[in-house]
Structure 1
Amino acid sequence: MADKTTMQVTIVASDHPVWSGTASSVTVPASEGAMGILPNHESVLAVIRNGRVVVADVNGSRHAFDVEDGFVSFDSNKLTVAVEHCSDEVSAD
């Protein structure tokens, strides 16, 4: 279970689950520009444009995924990223 310094993250594409776990931060390509989400962020529902989602997990590792068309929802320290298409994990650099 996530504590106050972490959040549960689920990334799904239309045809398969992509990544799920506990994270300390996530950056998403929102339609109005890049959006960083930290634990205890206010509730958010936003459209995602094509770009890269980067997850910093609780072990300090970074996971990156190229995504197309979708949305992000955050509430009660649970982040869901739902997209039409998503690449396999790519280099986070």
Structure 2
Amino acid sequence: MADLHVELVAADRSIWSGEATLVIARTTSGDIGILPGHEPLLGVLETGPVTIRTTDEGGTVVAAVHGGFISFSDNKLSILAEIAELADEIDVARAERALERSRSDADAGAERRAEVRLAAAAGDR
């Protein structure tokens, strides 16, 4: 089976590009897994982690994604995010402070973003 080419791009920069065997993302219709040969699709991304299983032995890339679009055709997957951070770029202490602040302010959107950043930093799906 052929691999799929993935481009993960945020509004302000390219986040990751490469070959993968599987990508899992959260859309408005629920979580979706994309394998090579998947049917063409266009979807709206929800705030959530994106997991990319790379073609490297045991390689996995995890990113916290906050909104955007996902498009797949001809074994090319484009993830166009409003905001995205790779797990190893996330400042965990800052995300924990943001989570506490959001809970005390009863800001559900900020709370969800902070939770996703912490989950991505921990490598959770």
Residues 20-48 of structure 1 deviation map (CA, whole Å, 9 limit, x = unaligned): 00000000111111100000000000000
Residues 68-89 of structure 1 deviation map (CA, whole Å, 9 limit, x = unaligned): 1101000000000001001133
Residues 32-67 of structure 1 deviation map (CA, whole Å, 9 limit, x = unaligned): 111000000000000000000000000121110000
Select the structure of larger CA radius of gyration.
2
1:31 aligns with 2:62: no
**TM-aligned CA deviation for residue 92 of structure 1:** 2.6
What are the within-5 Å matches in structure 2 for residues 1-93 of structure 1?
A: 4-59=1-56, 60-89=58-87, 90-93=121-124
User: Tell me, which stretches of 5 or more residues in structure 1 are unaligned?
Assistant: none
Q: Greater helix percent: which structure?
A: 2
TM-score normalised over the length of structure 2: 0.69
TM-score normalised over the length of structure 1: 0.91
Aligned residue type for 2:29: E
Give % identity.
34
User: Tell me, which stretches of 5 or more residues in structure 2 are unaligned?
Assistant: 88-120
User: Which aligned segments of 4 or more residues in structure 1 are displaced greater than 4 angstroms?
Assistant: none
Count of paired positions: 90
Q: Distance in 2 between matches of 1:26 and 1:37?
A: 5
The answer as to whether partners of 1:26 and 1:54 remain within 8 angstroms in 2 is yes
